[in-house]
């Protein structure tokens, strides 16, 4: 089974700025829970209570600057916001740094906040083989996407 990666594909039909902002932005006063890890040390665990704590999720949940279309810019210290910086209307994509965990990793989910103004956006899951330009997630074989025409 192929490894699936997050993918956010952006289709802009007008020169507009679209921001994808993950809801993983650090929030003030977030505390980490510690659980026994089988050795003398305790390992931080991501929970509903501490999910906004930056140190709990680390930069591993950020977008991958090496796996993005050239017209997409990553911002914020952790690279959690993707912004379209071009003028041409095309599908443009960015992948996450890490794939969905394999094996006994429990329930997996991700949250994305879409802010800005534009014509269409697609978010979903794709393989590494999906091109980062001129196609959207959900269109290619092995990809699953959710799209909106912006209307």
Give pLDDT tens digits for 27-75: 444 444 444 444 444 445 667 776 656 554 556 678 888 999 999 998 8
Rounded to the nearest 10°, the torsion over CA 67, 128, 21, 135 is 90
Q: Return phi, psi of residue 60, to 5°.
A: -65, -25
- pLDDT tens digit sequence for 84-111: 888 877 888 998 888 887 777 777 777 7
C-alpha count within 13 angstroms, C-beta hemisphere, residue 36: 3
Q: In what order do the strands lie in the sheet with 112-116?
A: 72-75, 81-84, 18-22, 112-116
Residue 49: both structure tokens together: 């209570």
pLDDT of residue 144: 92
| Residue 40: Cβ-neighbour burial (10 angstroms; 0-12, 13-18, 19+) | exposed
Q: Which residue has the higher pLDDT, 6 or 80?
A: 80
SS3 state at 28 = coil
- Predicted confidence at residue 109, as pLDDT, reads 77
Q: Domain coordinates of the chain in residue numbers?
A: 4-138
Which candidate, 145, 140, 86, places its Cα nearest to that of 121? 145
């Amino acid at each position: 089974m192929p490894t699936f990666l997050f993918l956010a594909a952006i289709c802009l039909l007008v020169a507009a700025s679209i921001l994808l902002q993950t809801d993983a932005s650090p929030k003030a006063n977030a505390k980490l829970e510690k659980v026994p890890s089988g050795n003398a040390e305790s390992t931080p665990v991501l929970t509903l209570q501490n999910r906004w704590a930056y140190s709990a999720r680390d930069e591993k949940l950020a977008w991958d600057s090496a796996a993005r279309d050239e017209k997409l810019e990553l911002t914020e210290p952790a690279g959690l916001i993707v912004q379209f910086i071009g003028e041409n209307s095309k599908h443009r994509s960015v992948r996450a740094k890490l794939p969905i965990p394999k094996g006994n990793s429990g329930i997996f989910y991700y949250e994305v906040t879409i802010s800005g103004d534009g014509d269409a956006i697609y978010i979903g899951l794709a393989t590494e083989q999906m091109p980062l330009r001129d196609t959207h997630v959900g269109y290619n074989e092995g990809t699953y996407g959710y799209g909106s025409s912006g209307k």
